[in-house]
Chains A and B, each alone.
Chain A
């Protein structure tokens, strides 16, 4: 089945599907997860309020500590059908069966297709290298059966991690308990970050995404033309992209065909 998917897949360990859960009713917006992510990944402790190549989680809204009654976690959702990996011309983004969608910066050529294709807007470009960065779901830790570090450090238990089926049962029960609802199960074809929310998405400062798989990529025309018709990203990149296109021609439509319909 993995062969039919239009993006690279791989397995970390047992292949059991995992999920992160975020309970907005328990979140206090302390941003310890933001710092924990930077510390685990050895990123500069900078820019707590906006996603960037060195800040992979934010707590919305971007208000200073304690002044919001309501919070929303903004980070990669680790989609079941990741558009970022689908549009990547050099197969630098892999979807692991356990859940993580991971960008390999050694392979990334900085074309920024993924940045624009992501329906959640959570991929950032490094200002110097031009490469793409985002949350990795701590794939290295997950491969060792450890929780992502943000989950590990959450002081209120608002973040949790485990087998997808168990997490799903827990969020459903919790949503009932707080008279809220579960978000993230069906959006973009399903994600591996499940939210318990008590207000509207807008209230939690979160983006609304349709349930369709492979939503249309909004890659600017200039970037689309720059990729195939210039050598600006390097000759090696060009060869790798051509090789990928020859092996997987069916993936090209996700990148270039503007009249494509999202799949339900």
Chain B
């Protein structure tokens, strides 16, 4: 090995300055930095934290998007090694770290082209797309693709570059029109959320097309294959089937889905109406055995024959259940929202307020541009998607901003009906009956976050160090600790380039096999403790970034849409709310993670323990000192 770097990496990243139209290849950081941050969301966050000026706004040309794979991305011998993570300043909140992850094949292809990731800065004067192959990297004119939906764009771009194997990540009209929750779509159904598509739009970057045939170097292939086999065993029970796609499995798991702007949570037979008629094919990500993504050909009703491709995320189903849509209409609209490229939760929470206001007479047809916002109207939802993506009219403009802005503009009681977190949104499920998940969503930076999961006892692999549980889902004790550990091992997946769907901590060897896969790939000797520390660093980087921009831990329970903290309205968990344990449960979580319970900033000792001394000047102690001096 000639490089200073461990195996598993291609060793290079691309730096693209769209203002100047320049493309530069840079070396990936050396071993000490990689051992600390590994890759993926932590390395991306590290780069953005170091480079992004505090005064920059999300859509300024100076705004930065860092996209990084991890060492397990694209090795080919493990499940789940398909992720690429993006870090940027969130357009949804304006002051927190945007983090988005996407799987499928695109991130793998980038690595195959010879790059571990890329950093995008500046803004192009005209629409462009980035073409990356093993031989060359170039910016190409995208004017003829501008305005096209993501699906058509992907097909057309692949044809335009003449490479049938090329992989495409592309924004739709929403991203182009700077909708704050604009998404970046790849491989048809996969998406990077949290508004990264809006930032692409502000930079006039329509797409990134990649093609490559190389594979990352591997330290010990035999060991990796063996560890990958163990990993595959651990996720065997989570393997999807077409039957699982015909149900509301996620809702049945904890007994709640979103209905009528979070005013009901009961699953009805009509929710899956027509699913039995559909032709469903599982459509796995790169070499993954979990088979979460899927393709459906609608088999009945007005959209019969429509072919749609989705990733594993069932959030989009809840997004439309929340507006009264049922059955195959939900799947049809799932295809539409992907095509315009809007994050489902951001759309649904905004639309939910608008629909409720229309029902209660606070919103009239004059204000909606003639739209009749009646629950369950496919036409109304489809039209609303279009006007949001194009920022058309009073309502479209507000929807493009977010649920908080919609509620405030409607006025009256409407702000009480909004679900938001720090101006962003939780992932779209009715998490309210679940203590750990609520803790997760409230402490997130205003969008998707590694989901907490509901293990009532420590994962078997961590039984040597974690003693909490069995937890009571209706009592606060132990959940802060559970959430912190869960968040650490979920983030560990983010840093190695793995997918949470392909992590099953509940099984013996469910975590150890992943750590061993990392070691076999890189040549490192990570322990489980060290892997949790790597996840912990990712958590702290976000706090440091957010705190620099005015966030404090108090925002986690104070800047929250009231409805998100209302008791569960009906169903088997009726009456339950985490609100009765706030803020104590969140404060306990911050304390356990080595951060101050009010400022949310890490303590100096925490930064030292984890080797993050270079950020000592953003510690809680330095912040306090400055505050006192200022006073």
Contact = CB atoms under 8 A, between A and B. Distances in A.
Interface stretch (B281-289, B387-395, B475-483): B281-289
Given A28-B281, A49-B165, A67-B307, A36 B76 contact: yes
A28 B328 CA distance: 22
B213 A44 contact: yes
A66 B295 contact: yes
B112 interface: yes
A47 B211 CA distance: 11
Contacts of B282: 28, 30, 156
Contact of B165 (A48, A66, A153, A155): A48
Contacts of A35: 76, 286-287
A32 interface: yes
B76 A39 contact: yes
B291 interface: yes
B281 A66 contact: yes
A28 B283 contact: yes
B598 interface: no
B568 to A, nearest CB: 37
Contact of A155 (B213, B279, B284): B284
Contacts of A28: 281-284, 291
B214 interface: yes
A39 B215 contact: yes
B283 A65 contact: yes
B296 to A, nearest CB: 9
A45 B214 contact: yes
A46 B112 CA distance: 10
B93 interface: no
Q: Is the interface of A mostly helix, strand, loop or mixed?
A: loop
Contacts of B307: 67
A119 interface: no
Contacts of A44: 213-214
A46 B165 contact: yes
A66 B288 contact: no
Contacts of A36: 76, 287
A2 B575 CA distance: 79
B187 interface: yes
A173 B157 CA distance: 45
A30 B285 CA distance: 9
Nearest to B289: A155
B627 interface: no
Interface string A56-88: 000000000111010000000000000000000
Given A36-B287, A47-B165, A29 B76 contact: no
B153 interface: no
Interface in A150-168: 153, 155-156
A176 B213 CA distance: 41
Contacts of B279: 69
A46 B287 CA distance: 15
A47 B232 CA distance: 27
Interface in B294-324: 295, 297, 307, 309
A22 B261 CA distance: 48
Interface string B51-86: 000000000000000000000000011000000000
B281 A29 contact: yes
B291 A45 contact: no
B465 interface: no
B288 A155 contact: yes
A66 B297 CA distance: 10
B164 interface: yes
A225 B215 CA distance: 42
Contacts of A66: 281, 283, 295, 309
Nearest to B294: A66
Contacts of B239: 155
Given A36-B76, A67-B295, A155-B289, A46 B213 contact: yes
A32 B215 contact: no
Given A39-B76, A48-B165, A30 B283 contact: yes
Nearest to B308: A66
B373 to A, nearest CB: 34
Interface in B479-510: none
Contacts of A29: 281
A65 B295 contact: yes
A156 B232 CA distance: 12
A32 B289 CA distance: 9
Interface in B251-306: 279, 281-284, 286-289, 291, 295, 297
A45 B283 contact: no
Contact of B287 (A65, A153, A156): A153
Given A45-B213, A65-B187, A65-B283, A155 B295 contact: no
Nearest to A155: B289
A201 to B, nearest CB: 21
Contacts of A69: 279, 281, 297
A43 to B, nearest CB: 9
A264 to B, nearest CB: 40
Contacts of B297: 69
A150 to B, nearest CB: 12
Contact of A30 (B165, B212, B284): B284
A32 B78 CA distance: 12
Contacts of B281: 28-29, 66, 69
A51 to B, nearest CB: 14
Contact of B215 (A45, A48, A49, A67): A45
Contacts of B289: 155
B294 to A, nearest CB: 8
Contacts of A46: 165, 213
Interface in B158-208: 164-165, 187-188
Contacts of A155: 239, 284, 288-289, 291
A32 B283 contact: no
Interface string A124-161: 00000000000000000000000000000101100000
A47 B166 CA distance: 10
Nearest to B211: A46
B77 to A, nearest CB: 7
Interface string B349-371: 00000000000000000000000
Residue of B76, B279, B307 with most partner-chain A CB within 10 A? B76
A26 to B, nearest CB: 11
A154 to B, nearest CB: 9
B164 A49 contact: yes
B455 to A, nearest CB: 25
A49 B158 CA distance: 15
Contacts of B212: 45
Interface in A234-249: none
A32 B77 contact: no
Nearest to A66: B295
A216 B309 CA distance: 45
B164 A156 contact: no
A163 B46 CA distance: 53
Contacts of A65: 187-188, 283, 295, 309
Nearest to B77: A39
B132 to A, nearest CB: 15
B295 A32 contact: no
15 contacts: A28-B291, A39-B76, A39-B77, A45-B212, A45-B215, A46-B165, A46-B213, A49-B164, A49-B165, A65-B283, A65-B309, A66-B281, A66-B283, A155-B239, A156-B282
Interface of A: 28-30, 32, 35-36, 39, 44-49, 65-67, 69, 153, 155-156
Given A35-B286, A45-B214, A66-B281, 4 more contacts: A35-B76, A39-B76, A45-B212, A65-B309
Interface of B: 76-77, 112, 164-165, 187-188, 212-215, 239, 279, 281-284, 286-289, 291, 295, 297, 307, 309
Name the 3 nearest CB pairs between A and B, nearest first: A66-B295, A44-B213, A46-B213
